[in-house]
Amino acid sequence: MEIAPRISVDEKIRFGKPVISGTRVPVDLIIGKLAGGMTYEEVMAEYEIAHEDILAVLDYAAKTLSSEEIKAAG
């Protein structure tokens, strides 16, 4: 099931974690690789994904985080 452009979930793929549609590449893996310093080109080559897939991952992550509420304990 597509939950965002180019992002889908299927309980039979990666235990239902969001992945790039048509692959088994999890969204969080791509975010982690970019955060770790890999370039878009390195990520695209290593996981055989398109530039548009990386942009979709970043867009999905941004939208997910923007709706998250964090309550300060104290």
Question: Domain of 15: which CATH number?
Answer: 1.10.10.10
pLDDT given for residue 71 in this prediction: 79
At residue 37, the pLDDT reads 98
Sheet of strand 19-20: strand arrangement: 2-4, 7-8, 19-20
Structural domains in the chain (count) = 1
List the chain residues with pLDDT less than 50.
Answer: none
Q: Which domain holds residue 57?
A: 2-66
Q: What pTM was computed for the model?
A: 0.88
Q: What is the per-residue pLDDT for 73? A: 80
